[in-house]
Amino acid sequence: MQQSGACCAVERPSADPGKAAHVAWSAGGPPFWTILRRKGVSIIPDLHIGVDVSLRAHSVAFLRSDDLAVVHRMTVPNDAGGSLALAEQIQHLCAKHDVDQVKVALEATGVYAWHLAVFLSGLDALGSHKPQVFVLQPRAVKHYRESFGSKKPKSDGADRLLLARILGHRELLPRPFRFDDRTLPLQRLTRHRYHLVRQLVRNKNYAASYLFLKASTLAQTRALSDPFGVAASEILLEYCTAEDIAQASVDELVGVLNRAAKGKIADPAAIALAYKRAAQDAHTLPERLKQPVHQILSLTIQDIRHLDHQIEAVDRLIDREPIARNNRLRSIPGIGPVFAAGILAEIGRIENFPSDDALAQYAGLTWPEHQSGDFAAEDTPLARTGNVYLRHYFVAAANSVRQHDAGFAAYYAKKYDEAAEHKHKRAQVLTARKLLRLAFALLRDDRAYDPTHVPTRRRVAT
């Protein structure tokens, strides 16, 4: 009797053992790699290494990528000898387990992982087993740990295993660590400048609070554009209280201004009169507070001046670097040596980025979509992930470029009008994204900025 095909269908084995293993594993069968071995498929695993770094020592775990079996654990000191011991262990395990590739995950714990990352990424002596190093952001590691609930404790032993297991999830990995000795000296200088600028801003904000205590109206109505510039701060240092400024004659104040500014103020009499009138309306401090407030403000102003000198010194060092002088980004109006150097130092080799979108992801100048079902968020905040230094220099440079280039000025004005709130900040970061696209094209094509240049198509780096 002939039966229907639906009743008599015979399940034939798949010609692809990997596909069959995946089907069996998805249906709740044995682990994927175990199924492949049973089917006689030869597997060459990778060696995954998780390193929990610290000031004095590195805690290391070695895993096989096929079955996640821990093949070795060790702790090495955070010095040159410890790095050599780790390299010898990697070489030994590669020979013992016949692995294909070696991948290392380290958490970006300050600079404690930097020396080891440089050493491992340059281990050419291992040949085909030269490690591929990934420096993971602490936030990514934290989120991965939280996905296990309370199953993954926070300890050195647990962290090294967690880092090794992250290497099995390619979508969670950043681009591999690369050591570029061309841009590294410049990067150290530009990052130090970023650190100094942040300190300067903090000190100026702190000084502004004491300026209000000393002479409230001087903080409200600024006679000079910079309340802590050379001339303005000289008046604050010369006179202890607002009453002293109010009682000083206009000629006396003019003398202080001219001496500090070396006669460069256009109308010192008008400035002096503005200071005198503002001081007359200031709140009066209690007598016992006048001297301490004046001393604190004086010391803070000295800190501000010192930081200004430090930033100027770093700017001169940046300008001496050859790669900073021969920089295509300096052809963009409004971008000087510092901004151009800061951007180039963080990008490194433009060939590492296949498109400007990849560079934007690296800089954190993206706005992730927030959508679920019928809901789509209208307000998409900036991602604020990625390289904070690169994002800082792009945003600061964009604010300068828009003041010197008509095209960028028009774009900024358009985005400013479109924004419902935070108009300046949103327009500024969108202008920074436009500047990033331009910087990518100039570095990719190795050409100077030409505002009349119109690309025929959107290309990617080759």
Is the pLDDT at 438 greater than 70, yes or no? yes
411-426: per-residue pLDDT in tens?
999 999 988 888 999 9
Residues 129-179 pLDDT 10s:
889 999 998 888 888 888 877 666 677 688 899 999 999 888 888 888 888
User: What value does the mean pLDDT take over residues 12-23?
Assistant: 47
The pTM of this model reads 0.80
pLDDT value for 38: 55
Q: Which residue has better confidence, 51 or 2?
A: 51
pLDDT in tens, 105-122: 999 888 899 999 999 998
* pLDDT score, position 411: 95
Q: Quick check: 52 and 59 in contact, CB under 8 A?
A: yes
Q: Does residue 376 register a pLDDT over 70?
A: no
Paired with 134 in beta bridges are 105
Give me the percent of the chain exceeding a pLDDT of 90: 56
Q: Give Dmax over CA atoms of the chain in angstroms.
A: 121
On the question of pLDDT at 18 being above 90, the answer is: no
Please check whether residue 380 is in contact with residue 367, taking contact to mean a CB–CB distance below 8 angstroms: yes
Q: What domains, with CATH codes, occur in the chain?
A: 14-43 (no CATH), 47-172 (3.30.420.40), 187-320 (1.10.287), 327-445 (no CATH)
What is the arithmetic mean of pLDDT over 51-73? Answer: 91
Beta strands 375-376; 371-372: pairing state = antiparallel
44 CB-near residues (< 8 Å, 6+ apart): 98, 99, 100
Q: Is 332 a residue whose pLDDT tops 60? A: yes
What does DSSP say about strands 57-64 and 132-136: parallel, antiparallel, or unpaired?
A: unpaired
pLDDT per position as a tens digit, 191-224: 999 999 999 999 999 999 999 999 999 888 878 8
Rounded mean pLDDT of 26-38? 50
Helices 250-261 and 230-238 pack at an angle, to 10 degrees, of: 130
Please, are residues 107 and 159 in contact by the beta-carbon 8 Å criterion? yes
Please, are residues 146 and 139 in contact by the beta-carbon 8 Å criterion?
A: no
Q: What would the mean pLDDT of 282-300 be, rounded to a whole number?
A: 94
pLDDT value at 3 more than 50: no
Q: What is the pLDDT of residues 82-101, one digit of tens each?
A: 999 999 999 999 989 888 89
Q: What residue type is assigned to position 80 of the chain?
A: A
Cα–chain center distance at 107: 15
Rg (C-alpha) for the chain, rounded Å, is 31
Of 370, 351, 371, 353, the residue nearest 362 (C-alpha): 353
| Structure confidence at residue 385 (pLDDT) | 78
Q: What is the mean pLDDT of the chain?
A: 85
Greater confidence, 410 or 221? 410
Predicted confidence at residue 214, as pLDDT, reads: 93
